[in-house]
Chain A
Amino acid sequence: MAMPTLSPRLRQGRRGLLYLALLGGGLIWLYPFLWALGSSLKSTDGFFSGGLNPIPSEFHWSNYSEAWTQADFSRFFVNTVLFAMGTVVVTLLATSMAGYVLARTDFPGKKIWLGLVGVTLFLPHGYTIIPVFDLIQRLHLLNTLWSVVIVQSAGGMVFGTFLFMGYFTTIDRGLEDAARVDGANFHQIFWRIMLPLSGPMLATVGLFACITAWNSFFIPLVFTLSRPELHTLSVGMFNFIGQNSTAWTLVCAGSVITLLPIVLIFVVLQRFFINGLAGAVKQ
C-alpha cells in the first residue's frame, strides 16, 4: 500500500507543527532551569508572588553576592572544582593505562581481569557504602577531599577502562611495531604514541568523570558529613536548606551557581560526551 502523497504545502505545515511541538516540549523540558534562573534574581516578596512565572519584576543581583559570600557558596565552589579535577586526573591516568595493557598486551591473568571488568560493569553497586566508609576511616582519610576523590574515581574505573580498551583495540598495530623497531620501549610507546592518539577518548572519559563528580551527592555527603568546610556544592546546598528554610532566592542563586558551569561545559564539549556514551552501548 503506497503512502498517500501529501501536497507540498500540507507537508510543510506538518513539519512546521513538528518543530513547534519539539520547541514547546523543549521549553517545558528546561522550564525548571529557566525558573531557577529567573527566581534567583527575584526579591523575596517577588519570589512568592511570582509563583511559576520565571521572569523577575526587578533584578536583584545581590542574591548572587549574598549566596557567594554569606552562604559560603564560594567555598563549596572551590571544593567542587578541586574534587572534580582530582577525579578527572585519577580516572584518566588509571583507566587509560589499564585500558591499554588490557587491549594491547598479553599477560597471565588477563582473562580474569577482563572478566572482572565485564561483570562489574553490570553489577549493581552503591549499596556497599559502609565497608568503603570503614576502609576510608581505617586509612585515616575520613573527612578529607582525598577520600572523596578516591572513592568517586574508583566508581568510574570500570566504565573508563572499558571505553579505553575499546579505543586502543581500534588503533593500528603496525604503529606500535614500527615504534618498537625504532627502539621505543613500553613506556615510550604508551606515553608518546598511544596516549596522544587517544585524545577523543581522553576527552570523553574526562568529561564523563568531571560531570559525574560535579553532580555527585551521596559520596561527598557521606565522607565529609561532619566537615562543612569540605562540602561540595550539592552537599552545601542540601545543608543550607536544612538550616535556612526561608532564603529561597538565595537557594535559587546557589542552584544556578551549581548547575550553570556544568551545563556550559557540556554544551561546548557535548560531542565527546555523547559519542562516548553512544559508542559504549554499541560495543
Chain B
Amino acid sequence: MSLLDTRERRRTPATAPPVAARNGLWQRIRAAKWSYVYLAPMAVLLLAFVIYPIFASFGYTFYRWNGIGSPGEYVGLDNFRQILHDGIFWGAVKHTFLYAFVLVPVQLLLALALALVLNNPKLKFALFFRTVYFIPVVTSAAVVGVVIQLMLANFGDSAGSLLAKTGVTNGHIDWLGDPNTALAVIIAIGIWHTLGYNLVYFLAGLQTIPAELYEAAKLDGCGPVQSFFRITIPMLRQVGVVIVVLAFIGSFQVFDLVQVLTGGGPYFATEVVNTYIYHLAFGGAAGAAAQPDIGLASAASFLYGLLLILFSALQVLALRRISRRRTAANQ
C-alpha cells in the first residue's frame, strides 16, 4: 500500500531540494528516495509477476508435482526428456507456428490495404469505417469464439447441407470437428479478430508521411503504383518493424480462441502450445494426463519460452538489418 504511505507522508514538511550530490552513490540514492517509492508499485508487480516467473518456471521442471503443497518427487531431467519425446508437444509447436505464419502475413496485407483506402483524405466517414473494422479487437476472444461456434454449428446444419445437396461438398462438414478444417477456421477467426490493431498501426504510420512527398512524386510523373513502392513502403519501414514483431508476439500466445472453439481437439489437431501447457498443468483435455503435472507443464513452458525468446531476438535482428540496409541504400 505504498500509495497510502505517500499520501500520509505528503503532509510532513518537504525535505530540502537535493543539492548537487557528488558525495557518493549512497547520498544520491537517498536524495532520490521518492523516485524509488514512486517506482516501487510498478517495479514490484513487474518483478514478481512478469520477470521472476520467467526464471522460476525453471525450478519446477525437475519435479513431478501435482501443484498441491510443496513440489514432490525429484526427477532430474526426466520432464524435459518426456516433453522432447512427446509428439503432441511438437504438434502443438507446429500448430502455433502455422497459426502465426499464416495469420501475420495475411492479416498485415489486409490491414495495409484497408489502411490505404481509409487514409485517403477525400474519403468521407473514414472514422466510421475505422470504428467498424476495429470493433472485433475490443471484444473478448473467448466470447466471440462461442458465438462463432454457434454460427458454424447452425451453418453446418442449414447451409452445409445445402452445399452437400448441390454437390459442392462431400457430405456434411463439421468445420470445427474435422481435423482438416478446424485449424484453418481458427486462423481465419484470428485474422478477423485482431486485424483492427494493425489497421490502426498502419494508419498511424501512413499519417507520418508528409503529403509533399506525394505531390513532388506526382510532379515528377510518378503514378500511384510507383509512389506506393517508392514512398509509402520505404516510409512505413520503421513502424512496420514494430508491427511485425507485435503481431508475431501476439500470435504465439494464442489461447482463448482455441480453448473455447475446440479445446485443442479434435485428436489434438488444433492443440497449440498454450492449450497444451494448460492441459498439462490444470488437466481437462481428453487423452491428456488425468493428473495435473506442474513439472511437466513447466518443462514445456520453459522450452517454448526459450524458443520464443530465440525467435524474437532473431526477428528483431533480422528486421533491423533489413531496415538499416534499405535506408542506407536509399540515401
Contact = CB atoms under 8 A, between A and B. Distances in A.
B308 A127 contact: yes
Interface stretch (B83-91, B167-175, B176-184, B200-208): B200-208
B208 to A, nearest CB: 6
B201 A234 contact: no
A18 to B, nearest CB: 7
A154 B1 CA distance: 15
B42 A238 contact: no
B316 A108 contact: no
Size category of the A interface is 35 or more
A116 B39 CA distance: 13
Interface string A95-110: 1011011100111101
A135 interface: yes
Contacts of B197: 277
A171 interface: no
Contacts of B301: 127-130
B60 A157 contact: no
B288 interface: no
Contact of A52 (B28, B132, B151): B151
A50 B260 CA distance: 24
A223 B318 CA distance: 38
A255 B301 CA distance: 31
A188, A211, A273, A282: which has the most chain B beta carbons within 10 Å? A282
A51 B154 contact: yes
A266 interface: yes
Given A94-B42, A101-B38, A122-B245, A18 B51 contact: no
B140 A3 contact: no
A82 interface: no
Interface in A227-283: 233-235, 237-238, 241, 248, 251-252, 255, 258-259, 262-263, 266-267, 270, 273-274, 277-279, 281-282
B274 interface: yes
Nearest to B316: A122
Given A29-B192, A52-B155, A93-B3, A222 B41 contact: no
Given A107-B29, A234-B140, A278 B201 contact: yes
B241 to A, nearest CB: 10
B38 A100 contact: yes
A107 B32 contact: yes
A36 B112 CA distance: 29
B17 interface: yes
Contact of A30 (B135, B282, B297): B135
A218 interface: yes
**Is chain A's interface secondary structure helix, strand, loop, or mixed overall?**
helix
Contacts, number: 291
B66 to A, nearest CB: 12
A155 to B, nearest CB: 7
B146 interface: yes
B136 interface: yes
Contacts of A101: 34-36, 38-39
Size category of the B interface is 35 or more
A127 B277 contact: yes
B50 A241 contact: no
B72 interface: no
Contacts of A18: 117, 123
B267 interface: no
B117 A131 contact: no
B224 A98 contact: no
**Is chain B's interface secondary structure helix, strand, loop, or mixed overall?**
helix
Contact of B139 (A95, A116, A186, A262): A262
Given A94-B42, A98-B43, A116-B51, A277 B200 contact: yes
Interface string B126-155: 000111111110111111101110110011
B268 interface: no
B90 to A, nearest CB: 16
B234 interface: no
Interface in B284-331: 294, 297-298, 301, 304-305, 308-309, 312, 316
B215 interface: no
Given A97-B38, A153-B45, A130 B200 contact: no
Interface in B94-132: 117, 122-125, 129-132
24 contacts: A3-B224, A15-B122, A25-B133, A29-B135, A29-B192, A30-B132, A30-B136, A47-B154, A101-B39, A106-B32, A123-B312, A127-B304, A128-B301, A130-B60, A130-B294, A150-B45, A190-B38, A215-B140, A215-B143, A222-B282, A234-B142, A234-B256, A262-B140, A279-B204
Given A106-B35, A233-B140, 7 more contacts: A35-B151, A131-B56, A131-B57, A134-B67, A157-B46, A252-B147, A255-B147
In the complex, the 5 A-B pairs of residues with the closest C-beta atoms, listed nearest first: A185-B14, A278-B204, A107-B32, A154-B49, A98-B42
Interface of B: 3, 6, 9-10, 14-15, 17, 25, 28-29, 32, 34-36, 38-39, 41-43, 45-46, 48-54, 56-57, 59-60, 67, 117, 122-125, 129-136, 138-144, 146-148, 150-151, 154-155, 157-159, 192, 197, 200-201, 203-205, 207-208, 221, 223-224, 239, 242-243, 245-246, 249, 252-253, 255-256, 259-260, 273-274, 277-278, 281-282, 294, 297-298, 301, 304-305, 308-309, 312, 316
